[in-house]
């Protein structure tokens, strides 16, 4: 339960709504309690002062009772409406705030966190867990306050009529609360299982859709169907159980309400012998008991809501307390001049214990292009991740313009960098939006978008589409080829006029001719201070100022293209191999 105290700050934020809501609940219940009291006084007066004389009297009396009852109901209902307008709306506002808080925290966390948590978990935090918490903030609180207000008002009146009868008729109510708590907990548990299985089923279906070609090619339809069928049967069985428990719910309540009513009539009837209760008193009691049953029923339900909310909030808190490993250390502006230095840098991935970088040193001077070449898994992408501070290094130093990377303004540095990752990611938006995404300011002209597309040698491809730059990408739109995606991604990096350009093997699906065009466009870029090009293809980097050959995280060779060829080491070997491959491709 302690976890829910995290939400107190929101109660303070919305205190007026909350207090008003409590006031409305009390007023609504006040009207509600007047109804049985009115019935009591009217009925009692019939027997004492003015008994009914003829049909006319009876008609007037019933009209009077009906009218007053209606007015009181209207009053009670109106304030109930206001209660919902305040408390339920407050719960929605807090839900909104909490979702935003979680979302902005997601964005601060780094790659290590995302390696540890699955997408499903992260989605659950922001949708399901917040939903559970909202149930506590809205209905949970509303029914609890309602019960307290009503109980206070009603019990006071009941004791006034007959203290001993009050005691007897109230006994079944807590028992009912407990039973309903048990039933709701079971229902919640089952519905969680049903929901889980449902998302399992959607995952299976989704994978079937996206892997349809593979499934058909391997003629695995039967197996896939069997897998789906298994999940669907499990879902069916759990749902049946849920229906069964659900079906028990209402009868239990109705039975217990009936029990209370019968008890009231029986015991009340006994009491009329010695005139310790009037007929109107018994009637008022029955009405009071009926009023109390629903709120008492809700106790059980609310208890299980609160338990679930507490569990959800514990998960949310746990995650909100996760500190990002990489933090921006300063707000001092940083202007990049072009020098990058790695000094004896080593790095091991904590989750896989793979030492990806081993005692690596290199320097990029202002105006230079450094290239890194190496096999898959040699640590090239890790170098880039370390440079962009996705992870912090274990030992050694990374210096940017002779300052420790850890000490400079990280967001400024990232703002001045254009990075094209190895696995390009494009949003399901238009091509123009995807390129615009890279911009650091909001005022981007169509011309600027076109210019960067031209530099990335993708302009001609884009204008060939009927919708040109407004072409929609993704599931509902056009699927670009691998090379086109890479080039749109390059255009996205170029539109921010980066001072540092980082290309991570992002020309692999581009033919050599287009690649050369892009590289020569980059050479002429006035704004660029330095570039880091990662590739496993020599054509991409032969013109770089310096080339590093990486092998299992260690630098094994360094030099210009010509120097490395002359060295006749790994680089020269790779070069020869790629030359023969290329010529055999040309011939074939």
Ligand X SMILES: Nc1ncnc2c1ncn2[C@@H]1O[C@H](COP(=O)(O)OP(=O)(O)O)[C@@H](O)[C@H]1O
User: Per rule CB under 5 A, is residue 381 in the interface with Mg ion?
Assistant: yes
> Of the two residues 450 and 505, which places its CB atom closer to Mg ion in the complex?
505
Give every CB contact of residue 388 below 8 A, 6+ residues apart in sequence: 414, 417, 419, 502
User: Per rule CB under 5 A, is residue 83 in the interface with Mg ion?
Assistant: no
Distance of CA 362 to the CA centre of its chain: 41
Burial of residue 210 (number of CB atoms within 10 Å: 0-12, 13-18, 19+): exposed
SS3 content of the chain, % helix, strand, coil (to 5): 65, 10, 20
Select from Mg ion, ligand X, none the partner in contact with residue 486, using the beta carbon and a kind-dependent cut-off of 5 to 8 Å: none
> Of the two residues 98 and 502, which places its CB atom closer to ligand X in the complex?
502
- The residue behind tokens 């600027």 is 448
Considering only residues 380, 487, 496, 499, which one is a binding residue for ligand X as defined by CB under 6 A?
380
Binders in 213-242 for Mg ion, by CB under 5 A: none
Select from Mg ion, ligand X, none the partner in contact with residue 555, using the beta carbon and a kind-dependent cut-off of 5 to 8 Å: none
Q: Tell the smallest beta-carbon distance from residue 376 to ligand X (Å).
A: 4
User: Residue ranges of the alpha helices (H) in 321-417?
Assistant: 380-387, 410-415
Which among 120-128, 276-284, 379-387, 403-411 is the span making contact with ligand X, rule CB under 6 A? 379-387
Give every CB contact of residue 337 below 8 A, 6+ residues apart in sequence: 366, 401, 529
> Of the two residues 104 and 376, which places its CB atom closer to ligand X in the complex?
376
Q: Which residues pair with 555 in a beta bridge?
A: 550
> Of the two residues 436 and 555, which places its CB atom closer to ligand X in the complex?
555
Q: Tell the smallest beta-carbon distance from residue 476 to ligand X (Å).
A: 31
User: Per rule CB under 5 A, is residue 451 in the interface with Mg ion?
Assistant: no
> Of the two residues 211 and 396, which places its CB atom closer to ligand X in the complex?
396
> Of the two residues 322 and 358, which places its CB atom closer to ligand X in the complex?
358
Q: Tell the smallest beta-carbon distance from residue 550 to ligand X (Å).
A: 7
Select from ligand X, Mg ion, none the partner in contact with residue 354, using the beta carbon and a kind-dependent cut-off of 5 to 8 Å: ligand X
Cα–Cα distance for residue pair 431/164, rounded to 1 Å: 78
> Of the two residues 280 and 379, which places its CB atom closer to ligand X in the complex?
379
What's the DSSP call for residue 400?
E
> Of the two residues 253 and 373, which places its CB atom closer to Mg ion in the complex?
373
Answer for the pair 457, 521: CB distance below 8 angstroms, yes or no.
Answer: yes
Give every CB contact of residue 518 below 8 A, 6+ residues apart in sequence: 455, 456, 457, 487, 490, 507, 510
> Of the two residues 298 and 378, which places its CB atom closer to ligand X in the complex?
378
> Of the two residues 76 and 381, which places its CB atom closer to ligand X in the complex?
381
Considering only residues 138, 139, 379, 483, which one is a binding residue for ligand X as defined by CB under 6 A?
379
> Of the two residues 380 and 485, which places its CB atom closer to Mg ion in the complex?
380
Tokens representing 106? 């997601």
Answer for the pair 484, 461: CB distance below 8 angstroms, yes or no.
Answer: yes
Q: Tell the smallest beta-carbon distance from residue 229 to ligand X (Å).
A: 36
User: Per rule CB under 6 A, is residue 115 in the interface with ligand X?
Assistant: yes
Cα–Cα distance for residue pair 396/586, rounded to 1 Å: 45
Give every CB contact of residue 248 below 8 A, 6+ residues apart in sequence: 183
Considering only residues 75, 338, 377, 477, which one is a binding residue for ligand X as defined by CB under 6 A?
377
Q: Tell the smallest beta-carbon distance from residue 482 to Mg ion (Å).
A: 15
Neighbour-count burial for 361-395, b at 16+ CB within 10 Å, e otherwise: ebebeeebbbbbbbeeebbbbbbbbbbbbebebee
User: Per rule CB under 6 A, is residue 374 in the interface with ligand X?
Assistant: yes
> Of the two residues 261 and 378, which places its CB atom closer to ligand X in the complex?
378
x/- mask, ligand X, residues 329-368, rule CB under 6 A, reads --------------------x-xx-x-x------------
Q: Tell the smallest beta-carbon distance from residue 113 to ligand X (Å).
A: 12
Q: Tell the smallest beta-carbon distance from residue 501 to ligand X (Å).
A: 17
Tokens representing 360? 């690596």
Considering only residues 132, 313, 378, 471, which one is a binding residue for ligand X as defined by CB under 6 A?
378
User: Per rule CB under 5 A, is residue 434 in the interface with Mg ion?
Assistant: no
In SS3 terms, 45-99 reads as: HHHHCCCCCHHHHHHHHHHHHHHHHHHHHHHHHHHHHHHHHHHHHHHHHHHHHHH
Q: Cβ-closest residue to ligand X?
A: 381
Neighbour-count burial for 547-577, b at 16+ CB within 10 Å, e otherwise: bbbbeebbbebbbebeebbeeeebbeebbee
Using CB under 5 A, count the residues that bind Mg ion: 3
Select from Mg ion, ligand X, none the partner in contact with residue 489, using the beta carbon and a kind-dependent cut-off of 5 to 8 Å: none
Q: Tell the smallest beta-carbon distance from residue 86 to ligand X (Å).
A: 48
Q: Tell the smallest beta-carbon distance from residue 122 to ligand X (Å).
A: 17
Cα 494 to Cα 174, 368, 385, 566, distances in angstroms: 69, 17, 19, 34
Find, among 335, 381, 387, 342, the residue nearest to 360 by Cα: 342
Q: Tell the smallest beta-carbon distance from residue 347 to ligand X (Å).
A: 9
User: Per rule CB under 6 A, is residue 421 in the interface with ligand X?
Assistant: no
A 10 A CB-CB count for 234 gives 16
In SS3 terms, 521-547 reads as: HHHCCCCCCEEEEEECCHHHHCCCCEE
Select from Mg ion, ligand X, none the partner in contact with residue 514, using the beta carbon and a kind-dependent cut-off of 5 to 8 Å: none
Considering only residues 117, 348, 422, 448, which one is a binding residue for Mg ion as defined by CB under 5 A?
422
Select from Mg ion, ligand X, none the partner in contact with residue 378, using the beta carbon and a kind-dependent cut-off of 5 to 8 Å: ligand X
Cα–Cα distance for residue pair 296/574, rounded to 1 Å: 79
> Of the two residues 381 and 497, which places its CB atom closer to ligand X in the complex?
381
Select from Mg ion, ligand X, none the partner in contact with residue 15, using the beta carbon and a kind-dependent cut-off of 5 to 8 Å: none
Q: Which residues bind Mg ion (CB under 5 A)?
A: 380-381, 422
Q: Which residues bind ligand X (CB under 6 A)?
A: 115, 349, 351-352, 354, 356, 374, 376-382
């Amino acid at each position: 339960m302690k976890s829910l105290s995290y939400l107190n700050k929101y109660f303070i934020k919305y205190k007026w709504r909350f207090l008003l809501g409590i006031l409305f609940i009390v007023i609504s219940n006040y009207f509600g309690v007047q109804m049985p009291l009115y019935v009591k006084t009217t009925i009692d007066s019939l027997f004492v002062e003015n008994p009914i004389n003829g049909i006319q009297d009876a008609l007037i009396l019933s009209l009077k009772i009906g009218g007053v009852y209606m007015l009181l109901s209207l009053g009670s209902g109106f304030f109930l409406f206001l209660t919902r307008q305040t408390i339920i709306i407050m719960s929605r506002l807090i839900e909104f705030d909490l979702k935003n808080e979680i979302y902005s925290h997601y964005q601060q966390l780094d790659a290590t966190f995302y390696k540890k948590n699955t997408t499903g978990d992260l989605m659950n935090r922001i949708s399901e867990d917040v939903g559970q918490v909202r149930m506590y903030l809205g209905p949970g609180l509303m029914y609890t306050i309602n019960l307290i207000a009503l109980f206070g008002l009603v019990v006071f009146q009941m004791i006034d009529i007959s203290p001993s009868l009050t005691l007897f008729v109230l006994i079944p109510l807590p028992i009912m609360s407990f039973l309903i708590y048990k039933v709701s907990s079971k229902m919640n548990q089952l519905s969680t299982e049903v929901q889980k299985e449902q998302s399992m089923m959607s995952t299976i279906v989704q994978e079937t859709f996206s892997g349809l070609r593979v499934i058909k090619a391997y003629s695995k339809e039967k197996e896939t169907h069997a897998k789906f069928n298994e999940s669907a049967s499990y879902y069916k069985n759990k749902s049946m159980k849920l229906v069964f428990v659900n079906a028990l719910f209402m009868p239990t309540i109705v039975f217990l309400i009936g029990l209370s009513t019968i008890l009231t009539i029986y015991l009340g009837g006994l009491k009329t012998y010695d005139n310790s209760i009037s007929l109107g008193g018994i009637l008022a009691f029955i009405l009071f008991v009926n009023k109390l049953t629903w709120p008492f029923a809700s106790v059980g339900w609310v208890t299980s809501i609160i338990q679930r909310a507490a569990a959800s909030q514990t998960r949310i808190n746990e995650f909100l307390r996760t500190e990002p490993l990489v933090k921006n250390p300063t707000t001092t502006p940083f202007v990049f001049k072009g020098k990058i230095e790695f000094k004896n840098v080593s790095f091991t991935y904590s989750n896989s214990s793979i030492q990806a970088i081993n005692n690596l040193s290199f320097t990029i001077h202002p105006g230079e292009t450094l290239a890194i070449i190496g096999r898959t898994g040699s640590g090239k992408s890790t170098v880039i991740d370390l440079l962009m501070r996705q992870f912090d290094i274990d030992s050694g130093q990374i210096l940017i313009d002779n300052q420790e990377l850890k000490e400079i303004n990280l967001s400024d540095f990232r703002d001045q960098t254009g990075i094209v990752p190895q696995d390009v990611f494009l949003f399901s938006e238009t091509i123009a939006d995807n390129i615009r995404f890279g911009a650091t300011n909001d005022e981007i002209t169509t011309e600027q978008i076109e210019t960067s597309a031209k530099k990335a040698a993708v302009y001609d491809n884009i204008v060939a589409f009927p919708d040109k730059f407004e072409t929609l990408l993704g599931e509902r739109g056009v699927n670009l080829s691998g090379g086109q995606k890479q080039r749109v991604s390059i255009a996205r990096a170029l539109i921010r006029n980066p001072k540092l350009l980082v290309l991570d093997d992002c020309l692999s699906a581009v033919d050599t001719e287009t690649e050369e065009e892009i590289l020569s466009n980059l050479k002429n870029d006035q704004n660029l201070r330095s570039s880091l090009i990662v590739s496993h293809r020599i054509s991409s980097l032969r013109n770089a100022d310096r080339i590093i050959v990486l092998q299992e995280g260690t630098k094994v060779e360094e030099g210009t293209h010509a120097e490395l060829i002359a060295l006749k080491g790994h680089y020269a070997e790779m070069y020869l191999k790629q030359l023969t491959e290329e010529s055999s491709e040309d011939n074939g």
